[in-house]
A and B are shown apart, each in its own frame.
Chain A
């Protein structure tokens, strides 16, 4: 057993998992997985939702105990009864959404549960020195006395990392750390990760963004169906290889972009301004067209979409829908004229988590507060048809959406707007935080909608996605549309140049 381990991945490993099996009831989640982390290494772990990567990491940081298999830390076989036990042994997890106590100070959050004491009294002086030490180590300019609620998302992650370093963790497990970060904040995080590498900390980096993986990792393990589908050095891990390993099929059908002859203009925007957000926006979307909105987070593209939909303050300027002047007064009025919005953050604005798939799918259909009896049978048929069309995987239509995977949840957000004959759909990050398979299906739906004559505006921070599915791409920079590019003729480089103001 030790022979292949040593050659394949085990040599000099800080943490080594071998032959890990994990079953939930009768469902195998992990079917004999080997995984290791060396000192000073960033090991990227990729895979679709449900491939077992999260389960594997939960085994590593003590959240789950494996059905069988060995966990060796520093050459000693260990079993962890809880995340606390793993943390004490030096394995810390940095979760996707960092649980901080918002009302407490940064110092207290960093040393939560282990504040140094002087007799019965907390030694605040020592606590603060310790917190400042680790924050300095991370080059973080964060006021240690400020309450955690003032932190930005990237800073929350820094505090979570500081918390791990305060207990001298030698292994950090990042679970999709960049999914809620702006590009700028993500690069700060990558800087920190590089520093930690030099200090010999071993890291696991779970992500769905391949460019992040290239940015920081040394090795890449791709999982599929509870097995390791492939393990390769990061410089050999190009987009196509990784994607094909993840989805277990070829990429040809990944971006379903079919040519559609554009029809009459459905959405026309002129001199649209919302002070502080965007200025003088003008564009046109024709039937069957998919128009991309690219730009850094904070460039105003989300505000632009939301204000066309009437989600927030009404903008100044002119909007025409199907040639008729339209002034958004709220989501209800927009839906009435045929403008729908596939919202970005599904947990916050897209879904009512405790309600069923069926209820969420039919929410827009049944938005009017009528006391007439609902057409249950018709609604059920709609839900069934949409679940089939979007391949929404759920045990049944009455399961609460919170039980679904991210990809399936996102498809439910999309399903709300299908079958309503919307003329224009505004999509904000339609594939954020979903796996490759679900992305492919969402692209297919967008393409089908375009074929059926819907005009769409897609705002996305993933430029390859915009290049793949859009006809035209509008690039925003500091609240202004600075470029209109033909998706077939432009490149990611050009989009980024405009988005960062370099080409303006």
Chain B
């Protein structure tokens, strides 16, 4: 029991703003018609709305996924005694650290109104890069550095430059890159999984723990916090939103749109490479096919988290909710003994339902 309550905080933290948003939402919808022209309301209620509006504006886009997560969590807690145990929660969070890391990077790209289909392939390539550096007899630190640099360079230097500077379609560029990178990985490995025998620093990335919490969870958490800070509290972060919402307006405001695009694809590559490093360490191997399903699952997580594929709306808090929802869903299905083959069906259904629900809600509001 004590284990249970100590595991609650992350969910409670998520729950609180969500509950607040429900009440606020009604108020805001009522207000919409006169938002355009009528004089501002009385001081106190205006202050209330301003404060509430800030929270509301941030939570609204993923309120649906958050409710689903809370309901699902409550249901699994009630029906599956193993669900809310330290071991299982660590298992969920640690096992999906790769998804989390890829999704965080992808969130930047989606916010800029783009997409990166090559992230899964890049994760696999990063694992292979680690393997190759070890083969060359170099230490863990260099292996990780090479893998991460490779991700950021291919993402920013190739994807980002082609899309940002030469204005090529992100779909074509990243589709090509996906094929190119996974093909190259297959050529180098001959399609076989390479075993990585390191037991030092590299091993601890995926298997170590700090203060009793597995390292991948710390890495995800750090990435999440850094991403949230960058997106919300730096000029670069706000520029990502501006470029995604209206690149022409951003350009004419003096923002270097090309550089923003290069950087977001670099961040996506970096996130993917980090995911690949964590996976390679956890599984002590570099598997050519390891990242293939991650790209689309990450896309689903970002979408579920309310980040708009048209750019400019959303953020990593929503992505966290999206990743948790998919992870908990898969974990719950596993606990209930449902075949793994069904997981895709359920995830897809939840994704479509969430987006449809959100759409209906927005339409009602305006």
Chain A residues with CB under 8 Å of chain B are 24-27, 29, 48-50, 309, 311, 331-332, 334-335, 341, 343, 348-356, 359, 362-364, 366-374, 376, 393-400, 403-405, 408, 416
Contacts of B92 in A (CB 8 A): none
B36–A363 CB distance below 8 A: no
A396-B53 contact given A27-B33, A311-B252, A405-B36, CB 8 Å threshold = yes
Contact among B35, B248, B254 for A349, CB-based, below 8 A: B248
Q: What would be 21 A-B contacts, judged by CB atoms less than 8 Å apart?
A: A25-B31, A26-B30, A48-B37, A309-B252, A311-B252, A343-B252, A348-B249, A352-B312, A354-B312, A355-B312, A359-B238, A363-B250, A372-B235, A373-B234, A393-B36, A398-B50, A399-B35, A400-B57, A403-B32, A404-B35, A408-B36
Interface string of B68-82 (1 = CB under 8 A from A): 000000000000000
Considering the chains assembled together, what is the distance between the CA atoms of A3 and B209 in angstroms? 87
Assuming A349-B249, A400-B57, what are 11 further A-B pairs, CB within 8 angstroms? Answer: A25-B31, A331-B254, A349-B248, A352-B241, A354-B308, A369-B255, A371-B236, A393-B36, A398-B50, A398-B54, A399-B53
A350–B249 CB distance below 8 A: yes
Contacts of A356 in B (CB 8 A): 57
Contact among B235, B236, B246 for A353, CB-based, below 8 A: B246
Rounded to whole Å, the gap between the CB of A32 and the closest CB of chain B is 18
B253–A367 CB distance below 8 A: yes
Interface string of B217-261 (1 = CB under 8 A from A): 000000000000110011110110110011011111111100110
A369-B235 contact given A348-B248, A353-B245, CB 8 Å threshold = yes
Contact among B34, B50, B230 for A27, CB-based, below 8 A: B34
B2 beta carbon closer than 8 Å to chain A: no
B49 beta carbon closer than 8 Å to chain A: yes
* Least CB separation from A350: chain B residue: B249
Contact among A331, A374, A394 for B35, CB-based, below 8 A: A394
- Which size class do B's interface residues fall under? 35 or more
A24–B33 CB distance below 8 A: yes
Rounded to whole Å, the gap between the CB of B107 and the closest CB of chain A is 15
B313 beta carbon closer than 8 Å to chain A: yes
Give the secondary structure class of B's interface. Answer: helix
B46 beta carbon closer than 8 Å to chain A: yes
Considering the chains assembled together, what is the distance between the CA atoms of A332 and B40 in angstroms? 35
Most chain A beta-carbon contacts within 10 A, residue among B40, B246, B252: B252
Give the secondary structure class of A's interface. Answer: loop
B6 beta carbon closer than 8 Å to chain A: no
A370–B36 CB distance below 8 A: no
B239–A369 CB distance below 8 A: yes
* Least CB separation from B313: chain A residue: A354
Contacts of B259 in A (CB 8 A): 369
Contacts of A343 in B (CB 8 A): 249, 252
A372-B234 contact given A343-B252, A350-B249, A395-B53, CB 8 Å threshold = yes
Contacts of A393 in B (CB 8 A): 36-40
Interface string of B281-324 (1 = CB under 8 A from A): 00000000000000000000000000010001100000000000
Closest 3 CB pairs of A and B: A50-B37, A24-B33, A352-B245
Considering the chains assembled together, what is the distance between the CA atoms of A475 and B248 in angstroms? 28
A352–B34 CB distance below 8 A: no
B238–A24 CB distance below 8 A: no
* Least CB separation from B308: chain A residue: A354
Considering the chains assembled together, what is the distance between the CA atoms of A331 and B239 in angstroms? 15
B57–A395 CB distance below 8 A: no
State which residues 262-287 of B face A: CB under 8 Å. Answer: 263
Contacts of B263 in A (CB 8 A): 369
B246–A351 CB distance below 8 A: yes
Contact among A24, A368, A371, A416 for B34, CB-based, below 8 A: A24
A27-B46 contact given A355-B245, A364-B253, A369-B235, CB 8 Å threshold = no
A363–B255 CB distance below 8 A: yes
A396–B46 CB distance below 8 A: yes
Contacts of B248 in A (CB 8 A): 348-349
Rounded to whole Å, the gap between the CB of A302 and the closest CB of chain B is 13
Considering the chains assembled together, what is the distance between the CA atoms of A356 and B60 in angstroms? 14
B33–A367 CB distance below 8 A: no
Most chain A beta-carbon contacts within 10 A, residue among B46, B236, B260: B236
* Least CB separation from A346: chain B residue: B249
Contact among A24, A29, A376 for B233, CB-based, below 8 A: A376
Rounded to whole Å, the gap between the CB of A432 and the closest CB of chain B is 16
Considering the chains assembled together, what is the distance between the CA atoms of A27 and B34 in angstroms? 7
Rounded to whole Å, the gap between the CB of A165 and the closest CB of chain B is 31
* Least CB separation from A395: chain B residue: B35
Considering the chains assembled together, what is the distance between the CA atoms of A427 and B259 in angstroms? 27
A369–B36 CB distance below 8 A: no
B256–A352 CB distance below 8 A: no
A374-B250 contact given A354-B313, A369-B239, A396-B50, CB 8 Å threshold = no
A395–B230 CB distance below 8 A: no
B35–A403 CB distance below 8 A: yes
* Least CB separation from A333: chain B residue: B254
Contacts of A400 in B (CB 8 A): 57
Considering the chains assembled together, what is the distance between the CA atoms of A362 and B35 in angstroms? 21
Considering the chains assembled together, what is the distance between the CA atoms of A48 and B319 in angstroms? 42
Contacts of B238 in A (CB 8 A): 359, 362-363, 366, 374
Contacts of A369 in B (CB 8 A): 235-236, 239, 255-256, 259-260, 263
Contacts of A24 in B (CB 8 A): 32-34
Contacts of A351 in B (CB 8 A): 246, 249
A355–B241 CB distance below 8 A: yes
* Least CB separation from B246: chain A residue: A352
Interface string of B6-38 (1 = CB under 8 A from A): 000000000000000000000000111111111
A395-B255 contact given A25-B30, A349-B248, CB 8 Å threshold = no
A355–B242 CB distance below 8 A: yes
Contacts of A366 in B (CB 8 A): 235, 238-239
Contact among B233, B236, B242, B252 for A331, CB-based, below 8 A: B252
A352–B38 CB distance below 8 A: no
Rounded to whole Å, the gap between the CB of A347 and the closest CB of chain B is 8
Considering the chains assembled together, what is the distance between the CA atoms of A49 and B35 in angstroms? 12
Rounded to whole Å, the gap between the CB of B132 and the closest CB of chain A is 31
Interface string of B108-137 (1 = CB under 8 A from A): 000000000000000000000000000000
Contacts of B46 in A (CB 8 A): 395-396
Considering the chains assembled together, what is the distance between the CA atoms of A416 and B249 in angstroms? 11
Contacts of A311 in B (CB 8 A): 251-252
Contacts of B234 in A (CB 8 A): 370-374
Rounded to whole Å, the gap between the CB of B186 and the closest CB of chain A is 37
Considering the chains assembled together, what is the distance between the CA atoms of A404 and B254 in angstroms? 24
Contacts of A50 in B (CB 8 A): 36-38
Contact among A354, A374, A376, A396 for B245, CB-based, below 8 A: A354
* Least CB separation from B314: chain A residue: A354
Interface string of B35-72 (1 = CB under 8 A from A): 11111110000100110011001000000000000000
Considering the chains assembled together, what is the distance between the CA atoms of A335 and B252 in angstroms? 10
Considering the chains assembled together, what is the distance between the CA atoms of A393 and B40 in angstroms? 7
Considering the chains assembled together, what is the distance between the CA atoms of A408 and B39 in angstroms? 12
A49–B36 CB distance below 8 A: yes
* Least CB separation from A370: chain B residue: B235
Rounded to whole Å, the gap between the CB of B42 and the closest CB of chain A is 12
Contact among B32, B53, B233, B242 for A359, CB-based, below 8 A: B242
Contacts of A349 in B (CB 8 A): 246, 248-249, 252
Considering the chains assembled together, what is the distance between the CA atoms of A311 and B248 in angstroms? 10
Contacts of A373 in B (CB 8 A): 229, 233-234
Considering the chains assembled together, what is the distance between the CA atoms of A341 and B255 in angstroms? 14
Rounded to whole Å, the gap between the CB of A260 and the closest CB of chain B is 27
Contacts of A376 in B (CB 8 A): 233
Contacts of B229 in A (CB 8 A): 373
* Least CB separation from A332: chain B residue: B254
Considering the chains assembled together, what is the distance between the CA atoms of A356 and B308 in angstroms? 15
Rounded to whole Å, the gap between the CB of B108 and the closest CB of chain A is 13
Considering the chains assembled together, what is the distance between the CA atoms of A416 and B31 in angstroms? 26
